[in-house]
Amino acid sequence: MRAGTKTPMIPICLYFQVHQPYRLRRYNYFDVGREHRYFDDARNREVLLEVAERCYLPATAMLERLIARHPRFAAAFSLSGTVLEQLAAWAPPALEAFRRLAASGRVEFLAETSHHSLAWLASREEFAAQVALHRARLSAAFDVEPRVFRNTELIYSDALAASVEELGFAGVLADGVEGLLGQRPPARVYRAATPGGLPLLVRHYRLSDDIAFRFSDRSWPEWPLTPEKYDRWVSSVKGDVVSLFMDFETFGEHQRPETGIFEFFEKWVDRRLSRRGAAFLTPSAAIDRLPAGDTLSSPSLMSWADEARDVSAWQGNDLQRDALGKLFALERRVRASGSDALAEDFRRLSTSDHFYYMATKSAGDDRVHAYFSPFDSPYDAYITYMHVVSDLERRLPRPARARSLRSDTTRPAPRA
């Protein structure tokens, strides 16, 4: 906190993640070599429509109201390429609502991998290709050029930040865990341990999870959370910016409408912005306007998932590592095939959710994994996935000299 007489109103940086995977259909050993449709379109459509009804439509409407009422309100989204595609196919009104938010000029769209994938963990080349593909999809959907990058599930390390810097982004997001921050407060703009000192925004995980996880938990001593109480907590934070990052599905889906989540959030923003000096900043604005502090380093991989906040949610057991290894063993041959259809199936299979369903964790984390999983068990998730990958492999041409994929998917990202 700077020396001064009165504590200034600390600005808020909101970022909401929007993502839906292409879930696999029931697919068994006997389908291999016979059935090349891998994804459960009916179920994926059904889930998307449900979530659109419960969350995307009412929650974007809430944000539109806030934007209309408050000139100082702003927020950021990251929409995965897979959810963009599903919205366009199955829920055009919801896509339209995101377009209106984009047109307001008050909402920033962040970059990520097109397929919300684990590509970073397996292949730099595929990672860069998916980032470029996501740029193309964002541009087509919203006519925007992203400046700030967030990796799948906030998977982060120094090496990731260096790659992001190299791809020309102006900033990157990570979770504000002690392993990264040490004793430093989360409420500042930092620099990543990269050659150019890439600006780094870290999530205030306690205040984010108060909304995203604990809001409706009646066993939480702070239940019920009121806008007044929450605003007191936010105001008491020392620093330059409070970064609240969460799934957009928090509104209406993870926290159902009857919990009062919508009323809570809208009233809190109203309350906050009724005071002089209060502001909401997009990640770009935060990076541009606030001074960047210390350099934070995380040589090892971290994320915002599970208690461990590392990559064990997707790569914590032999099944998950085997599955990712088996998929990426096909990468060169997929690229060499020159086939868009094969590349798209390959990429849909790189989506993090498939690996999340294979987690065999216990005590607490397993309930969260099971909540999201369409499978009876992590073993069913692995078996289905492996049969599908076996079929994908059979469809590939015999290994030969490498050719490149179509240029629009491998073109290096333009420097921002």
Residues in the site for other proteins, rule: CB under 8 A? Answer: 28-30, 317-319, 321-322, 360, 376-377, 379-380, 382-383, 386-387
Q: Which is closer to other proteins, CB of 122 or CB of 279? A: 122
Evaluate whether 187 touches 245 at the Cβ level (below 8 Å): no
Cα separation, 35 vs 37, whole angstroms: 6
Smallest gap from Cβ 318 to other proteins, in A, equals: 4
* φ, ψ for residue 16, nearest 5 deg: -115, 130
Q: Which is closer to other proteins, CB of 121 or CB of 381? A: 381
Q: Which is closer to other proteins, CB of 249 or CB of 391? A: 391
* Alpha helix segments (H runs only) across 52-143: 57-69, 81-90, 92-103, 119-122, 124-142
Contact residues for 121 (Cβ-Cβ < 8 A; gap 6+): 155, 301, 311, 314, 315, 324
Cα separation, 237 vs 97, whole angstroms: 33
Q: Which is closer to other proteins, CB of 325 or CB of 338? A: 325
Smallest gap from Cβ 115 to other proteins, in A, equals: 24
Listed residue (200, 122, 118, 193) closest to 158, CA to CA: 193
Smallest gap from Cβ 380 to other proteins, in A, equals: 7
Smallest gap from Cβ 383 to other proteins, in A, equals: 4
Torsion of CA 193, 306, 77, 97, to 10 degrees: 170
Q: Which is closer to other proteins, CB of 133 or CB of 392? A: 392
Catalytic residue among 85, 112, 126, 153: 153
Smallest gap from Cβ 330 to other proteins, in A, equals: 16
153 tagged catalytic: yes
Q: What is the DSSP letter of 415?
A: P
CB atoms within 10 A of CB 209: 16
Listed residue (121, 107, 184, 193) closest to 151, CA to CA: 121
Rg (C-alpha) for the chain, rounded Å, is 21
List the catalytic residues. Answer: 153
